[in-house]
Structure 1
């Protein structure tokens, strides 16, 4: 039985590219591994897959009991593929905080405080003296450029930068030219409905006793999203009612201006006010310099929740 390598629900570029690349590394090491996905491919990721002529992983919304699974780019239960509790989790490769995952026994875990899981995987290839194929290098590069927003995110480290430069050489692309084209391909709302916008690249979190969903959409012009704010917050209300969230937040991140408008619905708004030291009585606050959910949104919310 092949080992499944899978990223999180509502996958982003790192989640998909890390799954494909880590499965390729396992195969190069003589192991039977298959990349799968538990969500739809977004436009940015599809651009990368098309550019480097790589097929998307198999869509599998659930794993069967006993199936061996490797998680990449996540470790929290709420973000994991359905059925994982009855499967056999054997590895985690990630760059996020740990969120209460329990395992039946000891497993291999590789986490680093870097800007992208694909940075870790690229270095695993090099540490094992395994050549990275051109197409896999392209996907790894795409993930790093996406997660670090072309080095602009505060999550970006020297290790991400060094890996990206080496991968661009292997992939035979101009790093900045390719990254901007990829980011532009994924930016904007396109034909998304308000509900789809509200759940773009979404991840569930628990802040104290509050169940929250934090989404993020990257754009070149925030007006195209903010002009739909009333419809988006109405969709957020519907999601809260149907899925049991106390609070939904959408990061509308401006790639050019390097800032975020945080649109939100639910309670307690005091959690947002305390976390970001702003008046949160409305449904949106502006956060200059904020681009990272992992480093600039989740930590202050977690800290604020601890005071409730």
Structure 2
């Protein structure tokens, strides 16, 4: 059995795959976590914490039995995913377009992080996660809920995080989160064409493709200083892939607000839909923190016609 997260894997995608693979294995179904790309710096920070290697990168899964975690859209799966047998899905986003020929197990709930769901699966099975899995799931929850400040956060996330912190031997969750967030905020040496793909997800809405990436940072200054370079890389991405809109959300996780780099066929309409305003080539998105709760729903309502 393989367990894999979405394209451009983030913390939840990597941590969730490893933790879910451990649970399935302990329940009697040997499973291996794989990934559709290399971990982002935050996920790598967590892997380094527990001394784990990154999951094997796989982009082909035809003929395999798989569990998917942190997505339920074909567009975020390997291109040959329809030739695989999907045995289960764990997700905390909107229900996507994946359908299956056989019954499967689904754990899809409106919580702040897929790892909150994975932890509930451990509890339901009466199995205790390893210290390593607990550390990964704790980090993923802190990341996805922006340290319990995201609009997607629910109290179940905090309850799970506190229980996982105890299993992980983390006495100061605040300090753990600060160290983790510092790791993901160091983008000074990351090439622009990589930054515009950071945690990118591609959605099809009304027959149009929207590529939406998100950078969560303790300060936007290092990225804003590279605005022209990033805008060029984003325009190139849009042109090469034929996207209707390519958007990079730059989220200040301390101020809990965002700005955005945008290249779009209808930039003004997209900006208006998100409640933003233009600041030169940048758009201001006051109070926006969550892509799945504050960005995708209004875009879907406006363009899915």
Question: Common fold, TM-score beyond 0.5?
Answer: yes
Superposition RMSD in Å: 1.4
Question: 38-47 vs 189-198, which deviates more?
Answer: 189-198
Other structure's SS at 1:285 match: strand
Other structure's SS at 1:93 match: strand
Q: Give per-residue Cα distances to partners, 1:79-101, cap 9 Å, x unaligned.
A: 11232111111110111112211
In structure 1, what is the equivalent of residue 132 of structure 2? 135
- Contact persistence 2:60–2:79 (CA under 8 A): yes
User: Is 1:94 aligned to residue 95 of structure 2?
Assistant: no
In structure 2, what is the equivalent of residue 105 of structure 1? 102
Q: Structure 2: any 5+ residue segments left out of the alignment?
A: none
CA spacing shift, 1:200–1:291, aligned 2, 3 Å? same
- Contact persistence 1:271–1:304 (CA under 8 A): no
Q: Give per-residue Cα distances to partners, 1:110-135, cap 9 Å, x unaligned.
A: 10000000000011111111111111
- Contact persistence 1:188–1:217 (CA under 8 A): no
Aligned mates of 2:275, 2:196 — CA distance in 1: 23
Alignment of 1:127-206 (within 5 A): 127-173=124-170, 174-206=172-204
Other structure's SS at 1:264 match: strand
Q: Give per-residue Cα distances to partners, 1:159-197, cap 9 Å, x unaligned.
A: 001000110011011211111101111113231111111
Aligned mates of 1:247, 1:238 — CA distance in 2: 12
CA positional deviation for 1:274: 3.2
CA spacing shift, 1:126–1:112, aligned 2, 3 Å? same
- Contact persistence 2:211–2:243 (CA under 8 A): yes
The TM-score with structure 1 as length reference comes to: 0.95
- Contact persistence 1:188–1:220 (CA under 8 A): no
In structure 2, what is the equivalent of residue 221 of structure 1? 219
Between the two proteins, the alignment pairs up a number of residues equal to: 304
In structure 2, what is the equivalent of residue 121 of structure 1? 118
Question: 235-244 vs 139-148, which deviates more?
Answer: 235-244
Residue of structure 2 aligned with 1:232, choices 230, 233, 249? 230
The TM-score with structure 2 as length reference comes to: 0.96
CA positional deviation for 1:220: 1.6
